[in-house]
Every structure is written in structure tokens, then in C-alpha cells.
Amino acid sequence: MNKIKVLLIEDDRSISNFITATMDREGYKIMHALNGREGLSLSTSFCPNVILLDLGLPDMDGLDVLQKLRSWSDVPVIIISARTKEQEKVSALDLGADDYITKPFGTGELMARIRTSLRHSHAQAPGHVYKALDLEIDFEKRLIRLRGEEIHLTQIEYQLLTLLAENSGRVLTYSYIMNAIWGPYMDNNNQILRVNMANIRRKLEQNPAQPQYVFTEIGVGYRMRENENGGTV
Amino acid sequence: MFRSFSDKKSPRKSFRLKPPFTRHAISILICAACMLCATLASFLYQHIVPDNHANVALFYILALVIIARWTVGYGYGIACTLFSVIAINYLFTYPYYKLNFTLTGYPITFLLMSGITLILCTMTSHMTIQSEMIAEREKRLAEAEMEKMRANLLRAISHDLRTPLTGIIGNSSLFLESQNDLSSTEQRTIMTNIYEDSNWLLNMVENLLSVTRIQGDSLSINTTEEPVEEVVGEALEKLKKRYPDAAIRVRIPEEFLMIPMDAVLIEQVTINLLENAIVHSGSILPIDFIVEDHPEHVSFIVRDYGKGLSEEKLQNLFETGTYNNSRSSDSRKGMGIGLSICKTIITAHHGTLSGRNHADGAEFCFTLPKAEALASEK
């Protein structure tokens, strides 16, 4: 049987212990590298389906490892980082990481991230329908329905929401979103993005301060609720 | 100990000397201006009242007093004294427009003027040195106060850290020693305790990290404009992970509000206050979290419907190191640290934080100034 292969690049023993045990339980095949160099060489020989990369490695800068990986592979990379290092996360995401998980984390969160990134690594045909709770987005018909009723979004708001929905479950950085919607020549001020997201929130959420569909990751970007229609892994 | 910092609206204006180049430049300007004025005044005076040399000398002495008071060191004073003596002799004493130092009384004039100038220069130097010394002492006092605060905080936190750690070590060693003798319910209880204590420890550590985000003596932080609703939303998400059953009613204004803040710190404050309400109110009634828009600031209110705050607690709500003696079931999870850290954070944001009892429980309120209010404060 073809097991999903996970490569863990992590130097801390007790963290790698529980991650390895969790992966085994889930039926994944896991390999473990203790430093960047070992991780890079294992990534070529082991050909993993997803890589878990800790940014605090002893021999190399985790971002370096990421850049080298990305120079020849599109394999999903989830970085493991510390809580208050937003800039580090943003840099990693902009360098090509697919998602991040913040230390300390539980097994539930870890598995959710892995499943999401595996799902997205399979090419998505655009003829999809996004469904989560009471929200339905038909990408083909360009229709958005909330509790069965069609809601009206502006052109920009629609583009924003579909971008997030197509990447549901994954975090998208402010700069990635700005680039995708407004192009690369906008200045660094992301106020226009925040205002548009606020408008979307007021149209979708019952309480904008307790969102159920679009979640903020302060300092990093936005993440949309996982699509219930996603393919199984 | 936080009061001395938090109650002053503007930072202490400390005495600071301008850079040397500026000071000397100003001194030269003062010398030139004063000598010019004295000379012009004397000319004018001579025109009106000829032959009163005393007053001419006094014009120059007045100029010298000003120079001694406002220039740097002795050099300018001496130089201008010399200039004055020569000027008086050349311009205002017979024979006019000729230098003649042999007139009687002349050396005395020079000596007296020099004496006055020297004494005044000395006084000015002393004044400057004194002010510098006072500023130094003030700075050292402020640093000492900061150190004391940090030491107190560290002591209190170490105390608070040991308690959950005791639980973790105790529970896990029990598990390791007697795993086979424990029923699966007992095992589950032990593991749950370890899990909860660890999460509590994590919260402590995050509070500690918050304090390190605030820089040194000036309590300065890095702020960016963030949407209030997003910060509140994320804080609530994080809280829900640790207290999934907690009931919180949230109300925010319709308008989109952006405030300059360190989002991580403000989230920490929100989480601390809500957690206190959940854990210490002693009630499972829903907690109200209300955000209000005001012209100059935004206020955030956490209102619980529990037993409220005791008189004792109200007295030193935001002090570290004061532990209330009443032992309730959750007293080991002291409210003290979280609140004093909240106070530090809010003070660094130039906001206010207060706690009081309302009719049915306790209420905490913190405010954050809007960008326009901060700009006008500068």
C-alpha cells in the first residue's frame, strides 16, 4: 500500500518523538532528519509527500533550507516556528512555504495542517464548489450563497473571497493577496486589503468579531475555513 | 510601583545639553549680539547725555552679564570683557577713537569688569554641572525603579511557575511509578491534569514574552495600525482553544476601526482579562466583552456576572507580588501577574486600565487612544 511519506526536519528529541508517534498512528511513513543538511539530502532520496521543517535548526537557517528545497521541488512544506516571530513566518511563506504551525501545538492542529497541504498539492480543477457551514461558493457560476440566499459582493471582494476559498485551510500572506488581487506595484500599505476584508466580514459573518469563515492571523495574513467538499487524502 | 510611571501623562522632560557645536554657535551669536547692542546703546546714550561714562560702562556690564549667563565656559566672557574695555576706551573715552590706557582708574575698571564676568561665568558653570548631576541622578533612580520592578516580576512569576510545574512533575512521576496499578480513569485524570497545567504554564510564558516586547526604561513598543475586530477575533479564537465551553457575548461597533497597537500584546491583555473573568468570577454566566468607539479612544470592557472583586483586591489590583490570602480553589492561578502585565502593556500604549465592581459582578475596562489623539499629544 502506498503510504503518505512525511519528512520531519527537527532537532529537538521530544518534539520529534511525539510527531513521529502521531504520524505512525495515522498510517504515514515518516523519516526524521536532525539538521538542515541531513534534511536536504533526505528530501532528494526519500521523496516525501510533505515536509515539516523547523526554523530553529542547529546547522543552517531554516529559511535557507526552504529556499534550497524550493529551487528544485514543489513539495508542500509546513514550517514549525515560535509564537511571536511573525516576520519569520511571513518570510517563510513568501519564500514558498505552504503553511506554518506555531509551537507549542497539539496533534489535532498538526494533522489538520498536513491534510490541508496535501489536499492543495493536488491540482485543483476550477470547477469546484466551496462549501463550509452555511456558505456556498460556486466558482463556475460565480455565485455566492449564504444560508441559501445569494449575497452580493463587489468585484474586488469576490476576487478576494474566491482566492481565499481556493486556498481554503491554508494561510495566505498579506503580500501574496495584495499581489494576486492588486498586482505587484502597490505600495506596502495593506490598508485597502484590511478594509475590503472588513466589508466581506460584515456581509458574511454574523459577528465580525467572532468570524466563522475567514480568520485573521495577525501580522501574517488570512486563512479561510476548510472546504467541506475537499477531496479525501 | 507602577503608579509612578503610569499616572504621568507625558514623559519626564529631562535636562539635556545640546551638542557642543550648537552650544558654541549659540554662544558666538549671543556675544556678537550683546556687544553690538551695548555699543549701539552707548552711542545713542552719548548723543543724548554726553560725558556720563559710568552709564556707558554699565551698558557693557549688562551685556557681559548676559554673555556670562548664557554662553559656554569662561572663554567668551573673558574675550568680551576685553572687547568691552577696548571699546569703551576707543569709542567712548577721551581721546575718542584713540586707544589710551594711561588714564587714571583704567586698570581698576578693567579688573572690576573682569571680576564681575569671571564670577558670573563660574556661577553659570556651576549651574550647568548641577543640572547635569540632577539629570544623572534622576536617570539612575528611574533605572533602579525599573530593575526593582523587573526583580519583583521575576520573583512573582517564578513563584507562579513552580505551582503548575509541581503538578506536572508530580502527576507524571505518579504515572511512571504506578502505571500498572492505575485504572484507566485515574490515568486519564493524571494526563488531563498534566495537560491543563502545561497549558497554564504556556500562558505564563506568553505573558512573560509580552513583557520582553516592551523596551527598557521608556516603555516603548512597536505599533502598527491594526483593525480592532481582527485583533479581538484572533484573541477570542485563542481563548476558545483553552476554554471551549466559555460563553462570551461580544459586541463591537459597526464602523471599521483601526488603532495603532502591538497586536500580540493587546491580544495578551484581552486573553488575560477574559481568562480572569472565566476563572475567578466563580460563575458560569456569560461574560460580556464590549468594544466602544469614542472620539479620541476606543474602550474595551470585560464584564462578568460573578462574585466581583474583594475590597482587598481592589486596593492593589495591578501590583505584582501582593497575593491575596483567601484560598479559593483556583487561587494558585494568581490573578496578580496577569493584571500587572496588562497594566504595563496598556500604559506603554498610552491607554488606561481600570477595574471595579458593578452591580452584579466585576468589570475591567481598558482604553486605547486613536491615531489622531496620539499625534496631537505629540
Spatial distance between the Cα atoms of A176 and A188, rounded to a whole number of angstroms: 12
Q: What is the pLDDT of residues B188-207, one digit of tens each?
A: 999 999 998 898 888 888 88
CATH of domain A5-121: 3.40.50.2300
Mean pLDDT of chain A: 88
Pick the more confident residue, B154 or B181: B181
Q: In this predicted structure, what is the pLDDT of residue B95?
A: 67
C-alpha cell belonging to residue A35? 539538521
Is pLDDT of B4 > 80?
A: no
Torsions phi, psi for B50 (to 5 deg): -70, 160
Report domain extents, chain A.
5-121, 129-224
- Beta-sheet strands, E only, within A45-140: 50-54, 77-81, 99-102, 129-132, 135-138
Collect all residues of chain A within an 8 Å Cβ-Cβ radius of residue B230: 194, 197, 216, 218
Q: Given this structure, which CATH class describes domain A129-224?
A: mainly alpha
CB contact under 8 A, A218 and B264: yes
Q: What is the pLDDT of residues A166-220, one digit of tens each?
A: 888 899 999 999 999 998 887 777 889 999 999 999 999 999 999 999 999 988 9
Q: What is the pLDDT of residues A78-118, one digit of tens each?
A: 999 876 778 889 999 999 999 999 888 888 889 999 999 98
DSSP one-letter string for B269-316: HHHHHHHHHHHHS---SPEEEEEEE-SSEEEEEEE--SS---HHHHHT
B206 CB near a chain A CB, below 8 Å?
A: yes
Q: Could you give the percent of chain B with pLDDT greater than 70?
A: 85
Of A195, A207, A217, the CB nearest to B256: A195
Is pLDDT of B235 > 90?
A: yes
> ipTM of this predicted complex?
0.82
Of A86, A195, A209, the CB nearest to B233: A209
* Residue B152 binned pLDDT confidence (cut-offs 50, 70, 90): confident
Q: What is the pLDDT of residues B265-285, one digit of tens each?
A: 999 999 999 998 998 888 889
The residues of chain B that CATH labels 3.30.565.10 are: 218-377
Say if CB A151 and CB A204 are below 8 A apart: yes
B221 CB near a chain A CB, below 8 Å?
A: no
pTM exceeds 0.80, yes or no: no
A140-151 mean pLDDT: 89
Spatial distance between the Cα atoms of A62 and A56, rounded to a whole number of angstroms: 6
Is pLDDT of A230 > 80?
A: no
Domain B218-377, CATH 3.30.565.10 — does that match?
yes
Of B213, B256, B263, the CB nearest to A219: B263
B235-261 mean pLDDT: 91
At residue B367's C-alpha, the angle toward residues B361 and B368, to 5°, is 155
